[in-house]
Amino acid sequence: MNRVIFNKKGGVGKSTITCNLAAISASKGKKTLVIDLDTQGNSTHYLLGYRTEELESTLADFYASTLSVSLFPKDFSEFIYETNVPNLYVMPSHPDMDNLHAKLESRYKIYKLKEAIDAMDDFDNIFIDTPPALNFYTRSALIAANNCLIPFDCDVFSKQALYSLLDTVAEVRADHNPELKIEGIVVNQFQRRANLPAQLVDELIADKLTLFKTMISPSVKIRESHSACQPMIQFAPNHKVTEEFKSLYKELKKK
């Protein structure tokens, strides 16, 4: 199953949700891949502990290779790194992807990621992290994925942007990927004792949007896990937030 974690707003927890769900998938014995399309490289650093600039083969190299014809093209698997979590792999991003963006878009390489993923059959689950923008890489991810998860951080501005985001997914589905569906909205940074988060969640439910029952609590432990470059199931396996991610993963399996 290929899933894209998508929101045009930054700071909503895309990388955190991507990496922690992927790590739980791997802990269940599923061979799992994270594709990091965000040039900030947060997922790459979280899972590998390296800055993206320090890696030899990245998504920048993959996309650069699509702009020229080679007699001996690299296989997509050659851009994949094994992490310290058993069964978990990552395809890292790189800042050079920003420089390639215009060329890739003008030469209509929008299907290259989908083609590469479709050619692989050795991963049970693929999670695609996206940049906080609607650009070539985000559209590539939406075209390549079966399902879309939308992080929502209980903010008024996030709610205002959400409906435009839903229209974007619907447009990609209509024009490029009829298999794409919104699997659900992941409520992140949910403060149970505060009035505004509960009010915003109630409004989304009233609008008949699909929300996962599991909501992710704010915790300094998540930031500590970022610093340690270890997903929560590895860094704090018995923590409340880890249990929430496990519960969220169970909901994914039921859909």
pLDDT for 97 equals 95
Q: What is the pLDDT of residue 249?
A: 97
> Under a CB-based contact definition with an 8 Å cutoff, are residues 86 and 26 in contact?
yes
**What domains appear along the chain, each with residue ranges and CATH number?**
2-254 (3.40.50.300)
Start-to-end CA distance of the chain, whole Å, equals 11
What's residue 9's pLDDT?
86
Helix axes 156-175, 195-206, angle to 10 degrees: 30
pLDDT digits (tens, 9 = 90+) for 19-40: 999 999 999 999 999 999 999 9
Give 102: exposed, middle or buried? Use CB within 10 Å, 0-12, 13-18, 19+.
exposed
pTM: 0.95
CB 223 within 8 A of CB 249: no
Regions in the chain scoring below 50 on pLDDT: none
At residue 72, the pLDDT reads 59
Q: How far is Cα 70 from Cα 122, in angstroms, rounded to an integer? A: 25
Q: How much is the pLDDT for 71? A: 57
Type of residue found at 90: V
